[in-house]
């Protein structure tokens, strides 16, 4: 995991100092190394601080900067990397799980200077660029990569810079342009730091945006986020469980190989339980981390389940005052004041903070299982009212929107604590198996209170007791107690129904709804559970306006 920043000037001005400022804004994303390339000249160092005297002497009308969190390749992996012929410069944020296989194929033709997974990408691109355009080379390269990534690729020969995102959008990259330059970064606050105003844009999953030397932008599709056509092959529970078992175990093995110690974001729900249970069989030391309000259901269940499954658990218990102190910090980190996002982020943030204090470097999460296997409480009601075909469409939409509704938030939280997050359920093969499974096996219909039956049956077959596998878990904001506490804090500061003007409520209705619960889930149940109360949102907005380096992102449809 790392931080990427860069600028292409439209008028030839020196942008190196600005890129340096952007990197300093994201120092937590890469405490183990730093690098910068300006007009083809590369410098590297073991930290931004030691690199500053060098880049203060540099100049360039285009520059890429990088901060590195060392996970693969030890301390010798500062970026950017260059191709053997010197034409390409690459920066990578993410993990490539099949890099050893790719490297073995490339070693006869290319000289490697590190053992990192990132370096294989630039040499693979170099191979494909000999017979293709830059976009053609990128398409062929990402087709071979098994992993997650945000890439910044500079072609010295043409002056073009390509920004690329993995097919499901696990790693993010933002960009913005104005009359002076095009800028891009792993976090929006780095763009805000240099005066870029909203709207900033995301590189979309499976896409590449190419910036020409004069700042012109062009976007391309380079990889399918999910397989375009998947034939249903798992029509019985036995077939589905066996197919899923193989895919998930391989996914977990990829994400835990070579580690002696790993952390789990743990809520006590079956998704995080299954990840933790498998990880404990693969890694010598596994520590689960839970966050929430004192006395909340998630904390109580997490403790009970961890004890029964012999999992090591640490808990961050927060009272109302602690939550209140964390709210501004969380808003600043996730770059969003949306009430639903903040309420879910708070327990995750407190758990990850505890992991950071334990010097955990990599954590696993259960994100993605609900969208793949039908775990949301409104899915059976969709079947009842709209049928299975419509449910599949909604589930695919939820999966494709994970990048901005969940993944970007979680990445920023973990990277704020210099921790890399890995998502076993979003492995390409796990996704393929889920889509190839008859949907009726997972969601039974209008009266199904569980969902995710293939997921739960696999958990049972691996040795997880049935009552744990089939426990119905509350949504994170409710199970952790955050929803009620945030409401109480807002009222404490004078925000209640009577304080919200009609004009604010009207403006609130125009904001983009984030998460399937806000987009349509509320239509199939109690609207009050899933819709943010206006006075709570008004309180969070008031905080965001006072935060340094934070712009309120008024997301309007």
CA gap 394, 400 in Å, rounded: 10
* Domain spans of the chain, in order of start: 2-221, 237-485
Binding positions: 117
Question: Of 2, 76, 84, 288, which residue is the catalytic one?
Answer: 2
The CATH number given to 2-221 is: 3.60.20.10
pLDDT tens across the length of the chain (557 residues): 689 999 999 999 999 999 999 998 888 887 777 889 998 888 888 777 777 777 777 889 999 999 877 666 555 567 899 999 999 999 999 999 999 999 999 999 999 988 889 999 999 999 999 999 999 999 999 999 999 999 999 999 999 999 999 999 999 999 999 999 999 999 999 999 999 988 899 999 999 999 999 999 999 999 999 988 889 999 999 999 999 999 999 999 999 998 999 999 999 999 999 999 999 999 999 999 999 999 999 999 999 999 999 999 999 999 999 999 999 999 999 999 999 999 999 999 999 999 999 999 999 999 999 999 999 999 999 999 999 999 999 999 999 999 999 999 999 999 999 999 999 999 999 999 999 999 999 999 778 889 999 999 999 999 999 999 999 888 889 899 999 999 999 999 999 988 899 999 899 888 888 999 989 998 887 777 777 789 999 999 999 998 866 544 433 32
- The 3 state secondary structure assigned to 207-233 is EEEEECCCCCEEEEECCCCCCCCCCCC
Cβ atoms within 10 Å, residue 480: 29
Backbone angles phi, psi at 177, to 5 degrees: -140, 155
pLDDT number for residue 550: 59
CA gap 146, 254 in Å, rounded: 10
DSSP tag of 26? T
Backbone angles phi, psi at 524, to 5 degrees: -115, 20
pLDDT number for residue 73: 53
pLDDT number for residue 27: 86
pLDDT number for residue 554: 37
The question of whether 2 is a catalytic residue gets the answer yes
Residue 95, beta-bridge partner list: 148
pLDDT number for residue 553: 41
Does the structural domain 237-485 have CATH classification 3.40.50.620? yes
CA gap 387, 498 in Å, rounded: 41
Decide: helix, strand or coil at residue 73: coil
pTM greater than 0.75: yes
Binding positions for L-glutamine: 117
């Amino acid at each position: 995991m790392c931080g990427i920043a860069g600028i292409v000037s439209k008028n030839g001005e020196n942008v190196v100092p600005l890129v340096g400022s952007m990197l300093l804004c994201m120092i937590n994303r890469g405490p183990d190394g730093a690098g910068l390339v300006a007009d083809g000249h590369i410098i590297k160092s073991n930290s931004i601080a030691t690199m500053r005297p060098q880049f203060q002497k540099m100049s360039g009308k285009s520059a890429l900067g990088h901060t590195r969190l060392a996970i693969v390749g030890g301390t010798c992996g500062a970026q950017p990397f260059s191709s053997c012929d010197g034409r390409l410069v690459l920066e990578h944020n993410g993990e490539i799980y099949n890099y050893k296989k790719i490297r073995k194929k490339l070693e006869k033709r290319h000289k490697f200077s590190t053992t990192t997974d990132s370096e294989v990408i630039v040499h693979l691109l170099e191979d494909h660029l000999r017979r293709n355009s830059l976009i053609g080379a990128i398409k062929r390269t990402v087709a071979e990569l098994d992993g997650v990534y945000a890439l910044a690729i500079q072609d010295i020969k043409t002056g073009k810079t390509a920004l690329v995102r993995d097919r499901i959008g696990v790693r993010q990259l933002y960009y913005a342009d104005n009359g002076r330059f095009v800028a891009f970064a792993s976090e929006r606050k780095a763009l805000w730091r240099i005066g870029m105003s909203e709207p900033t844009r995301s590189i979309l999953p499976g896409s590449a945006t190419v910036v020409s030397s004069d700042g012109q932008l062009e976007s391309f599709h380079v990889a399918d986020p999910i397989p375009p056509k998947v034939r249903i092959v798992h029509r019985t529970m036995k077939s589905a469980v066996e197919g899923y078992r193989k895919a998930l175990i391989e996914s977990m093995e990829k994400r835990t190989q070579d580690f002696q110690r790993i952390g789990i974001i743990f809520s006590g729900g079956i998704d995080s339980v299954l990840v933790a249970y498998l990880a404990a069989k693969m890694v010598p030391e596994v520590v689960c981390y839970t966050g929430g309000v004192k006395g909340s259901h998630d904390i109580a269940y997490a403790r009970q389940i961890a004890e029964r499954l012999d999992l090591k658990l640490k808990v961050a218990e927060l009272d109302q005052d602690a939550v209140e102190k964390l709210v501004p910090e969380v808003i600043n980190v996730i770059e969003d004041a949306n009430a639903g996002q903040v309420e879910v982020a708070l327990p995750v943030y407190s758990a990850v903070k505890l992991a950071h204090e334990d010097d955990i470097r990599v954590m696993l999460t259960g994100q993605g299982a609900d969208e793949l296997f039908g775990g949301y409480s409104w899915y059976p009601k969709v079947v009842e009212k709209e049928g299975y075909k419509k449910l599949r469409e909604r589930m695919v939409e939820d999966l494709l929107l994970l990048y901005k509704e969940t993944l970007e938030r979680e990445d920023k939280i973990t990277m704020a604590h210099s921790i890399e997050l890995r998502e076993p359920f979003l492995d390409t093969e796990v996704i393929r198996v889920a889509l190839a499974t008859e949907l009726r096996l997972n969601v039974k219909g209008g009266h199904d209170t569980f969902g995710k039956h293939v997921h739960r049956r696999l958990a049972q077959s691996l040795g997880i007791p049935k009552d744990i596998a089939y426990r119905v878990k509350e949504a994170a904001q409710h199970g952790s107690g955050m929803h009620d506490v945030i409401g109480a804090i807002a009222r404490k500061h004078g925000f209640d129904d009577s304080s919200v003007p009609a004009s604010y409520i009207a403006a609130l209705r125009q904001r983009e709804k984030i998460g399937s619960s806000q987009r349509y889930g509320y239509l199939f149940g109690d609207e009050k559970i899933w819709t943010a109360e206006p006075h709570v949102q008004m309180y969070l907005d008031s905080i965001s306006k006072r935060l340094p380096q934070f712009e309120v992102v008024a997301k309007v449809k």
